[in-house]
Structure 1
Amino acid sequence: MNLAKKTIGIMGATGYVGREAVKTLLAFTDHNIMLGGREPEKLRSIFPAMESRGDCLHADIYNRDQLYYFCSKCDLVINCAGPAKQILDRVAAAAIDQGVHYVDVAGDIHLYKQLRKRNQEIAEKKLLFIVSAGVYPGLSEVVPAYVAETYFDEIDLLAVFFAGQGGFSLNAAYDIVCSIEEDTGLGMTYCKNGAAQKIEGAFHSSYELPSPAGKVDAYPVLNPEFKQIAARYKIKSAYFYNTYPNKSVLNKFVMIKALAQYKTEEQKKASAKILVEQYAEKKKEAGDFTMLHLIATGNKNGKYLELVSNLLYKNDWNTLSGIVAANAARLVAEGNRERAGCFFLTEGVNAAQLLELLSERNVGLSIHFSRGGRG
């Protein structure tokens, strides 16, 4: 592994996700840091430690010359800016043209498809581009990938539950509304033998997850990143559940979808505001947390195996997304580049190595065998 100092640039460092990405890189690496934004002085005031580690440049994402100049000063760029649906591939395209590696927290399938059109060029330049490098999607695929690679030869059934308490920025909520409009995540759908399959039956179910999540309402949804993981490891039946602390939260999503409250920019912004306000109504006794709960059955060395895994981080998903993106960039910058091209997170970095780095930030992963295996 090449441990030579690199320059890692970050766009969107003033947001919840970006701030944590910067803090992670400053605290756990020796790499030089370059921050880009429309207010460099504000960035310097937020991150006083930057004085000895790098610089802050005036770089407006919508100003091509400024953006290209910023990328030219970096070895790798992390994009934490939003809304992703408006930024699209602006930062990524600049990174390709300037010949630097790229990590995108949000990404999504549209950016992925756009960059895959330039995949040959990215690969020829020996660059690694990683999209969907946050918590969900991102870490929500890393955990099942790690479990599949480490503990199973074959998985018959996989169920992953995403739970947490935290907030959304208006930019993040705007992206969610756009995803609702585009049906990015297929509701009431699971992955059967690599293909999307509709679920018949109840609209949602209640599950009892470990503390601090407790009883939650779960809604099955299939996004492209999770479907890819299920196909990659030849999982016979794979379910992903987004969970909600109560029915009122789920109903807000249903209302936005059913009433098509996203047809105009004004409607998208209004719906985003509704989501921000809804998630601000937190259960005070729980505190912010992020959880990925996994149940898997299958076999290892010819023996039947039942496994339960739980990843818990005692802070919200925005903070954890910043940590995930920073550590993905850390692996890329430090030479973990066996392949080149554009990939989702689990294809671009090693799942076990990423989880090991996350443990430095108290992201705990427990493994329990209810039958078979070693516990």
Structure 2
Amino acid sequence: MKKVLILGGQGRIGSSVAQDLLSHTDAEIVVTGRNDNRKVLQNSLDKSLQLLTLDLDNLEGLRTAIKGCDLVIHCAGPFHYRDGRVIKICIEEGVNYIDVSDHRSFYQKVIQYREEAKQAGITAILNTGVFPGISNSMVREGVEKLDQTDTIHLSYTVVGSGGAGITVMRTTFLGLREPFDAWLDGKWQKVLPYTKREKVDFPQPYGATGVYWFDVPETYTFAESFKVKNVITKFGSIPDFYNHLTWITAHVFPTAWIESHAGIEFFSKVSYNMTSVTDKLTGIGVAMRAEIRGEKEGKPANYLSTMVHNNTAFSAGCGTGSVAQFLLEEKLNQPGIYPVEQVLTTDLFQAAMNNRGIEINTHLVYN
């Protein structure tokens, strides 16, 4: 029996990953958290889970927990605040690694260990989950369908909290703090977060929804993974008034309010309390739309891929859980450190989504 350690496994995303592994593998699973949420966790999951109280600042305890595992899944965000300690210990202990990291700063911190991971023979896969994660594989499939790709336009919308907990709120507000580099016209250019609103048609029941520039890992890794001139990544919320509140936070309130830890916590808690009320009316779903523009058989063509699900956290569990399953089954073995789109093949991605009931709709249009 393979042993899996899920760091942050008692949170919303981590517990969704644990649920997926319980459903699709026979692995021994240990989930960690700073506090012992035994009653809450075991009411919602399987009692066979092993629970471990662990603070990632306890390096000795962290190493002890990792030693002897076959796979570590890092779900303890926000990843803006994380460094490479977990992946470094995994390299030293010879343990495979995946995570649900969702910011380029974390990618830039850990990619420096790529050669060490190769030499240690471990496979480390970053940015799994729903976005990033499933979104990355939707884009890879589209790029493979075209003969030449010019532009990737990737949009997401989340209903309320998405069922993903307060950590996702923190991640959103942390992403409003400063301009970021986007790959446009074949070069890096500065873009302001939560600007250039546009209406994007998502699958029903969501339809046309406002989205804005947002810094996600795909903005950075797609420029390395695919030969394209433009990578556009936009995010929005449902109901739409959350978009306007977020825009006001980013562009009207004093900058110091969203640059301080206290300010981030204030906005996150207020937003979480608001969505706790509206979630009951709107649900906690997610929709994604990937449009890949280029050429097919010498003609201009667009490849469109869409996905919708009524539970964002569940979808994230499917994305990460499927990658974990393939690693445990030794279907993914590529020593080094990679964003998920560089290592997960389209065939495996399609099989995982079909097996989990995640429907991806695609079609190719010639212009």
Provide the TM-score with structure 1 as the length reference.
0.84
Separation in 1 of the partners of 2:346 and 2:54?
A: 33
Structure 1 residue runs of 4 or more that deviate by more than 6 Å after TM superposition: none
Q: 2:157 aligns with which of 157, 163, 183?
A: 163
C-alpha contact 2:107 2:217 (8 A) present in aligned 1: no
Identity of paired residues, percent? Answer: 19
CA deviation vs aligned residue, 1:48-97 (integer Å, no higher than 9, x gap)? 6353xx63334332222221111013111111123333443343333233
Corresponding residue for 1:297?
A: 293
Is the contact between residue 160 and residue 282 of structure 2 (CA under 8 Å) also seen in structure 1? Answer: no
CA contact (8 A) 2:130 2:315 kept: yes
CA contact (8 A) 1:106 1:132 kept: yes
The counterpart of 1:79, out of the listed 67, 74, 85, is 74
The equivalences for 1:12-91 within 5 A come to 12-37=8-33, 38-39=35-36, 41-42=38-39, 45-46=42-43, 49-51=46-48, 55-91=50-86
Question: Hey, what's the Cα distance between the residues in 2 that align with 1:226 and 1:80?
Answer: 21
Q: Which moved more, 1:72-81 or 1:228-237?
A: 228-237
**Are the counterparts in 2 of residues 161 and 241 from structure 1 also a CA contact under 8 Å?**
yes
Q: Aligned in 2, Cα 1:166/1:91: closer, same or farther, shift over 3 Å? A: farther
Alignment-mate amino acid for residue 61 of structure 2 = Q
Task: Identify the match of residue 211 of structure 2 among 211, 218, 222.
Answer: 218
Amino acid at match of 1:342: I
Match of 2:259 in 1: 263
In the aligned structure 2, how far is the partner of 1:265 from the partner of 1:197?
Answer: 24
Q: Which deviates the most, 100-109 or 302-311?
A: 302-311
The separation in 2 between residues aligned to 1:337 and 1:286, in whole angstroms, is: 38
The amino acid of 1:155's aligned partner reads T
Of the structure 1 ranges 69-78 and 189-198, higher mean CA displacement relative to structure 2 is found in 189-198
Which residue of structure 1 aligns with residue 148 of structure 2?
Answer: 154
Provide Cα deviations, 1:316-369, integer angstroms capped at 9, x if missing partner. Answer: x22211221111122222223442112211123224312321222211011123
Q: How does 1:321-340 map to 2 (within 5 A)?
A: 321-340=316-335
Which amino acid in the other structure matches residue 292 of structure 1? Answer: M
2: CA distance between counterparts of 1:287 and 1:14?
Answer: 22
Give the superposed CA RMSD: 2.8
* Distance in structure 2 (CA, Å) of the matches to 1:205 and 1:43: 40
Secondary structure of the equivalent of 1:60? Answer: coil
User: Which of 182, 185, 190 lines up with 1:192 in the alignment?
Assistant: 185
| CA apart distance, 1:17 | 0.7
| Cα distance in 1 for residues equivalent to 2:127 and 2:302 | 29
CA distance in 2, matches of 1:23, 1:292: 23
Question: 1:207 corresponds to which residue?
Answer: 200
Deviation for aligned residue 1:137 = 2.2
- Is 1:104 the counterpart of 2:99? The answer is yes
Query: Which of 363, 366, 372 does residue 361 from structure 2 map onto?
Result: 366
Partner of residue 179, structure 1: 175
> Conserved in 1, the CA contact under 8 Å of 2:103 and 2:216?
no
Distance (whole Å) between structure 1 residues aligned to residue 344 and residue 47 of structure 2: 27
Q: Does the CA contact (< 8 Å) of 2:175 and 2:214 recur in 1?
A: no
In structure 2, runs of 5+ residues without a counterpart are none
Paired AA for residue 290 in structure 1:
V
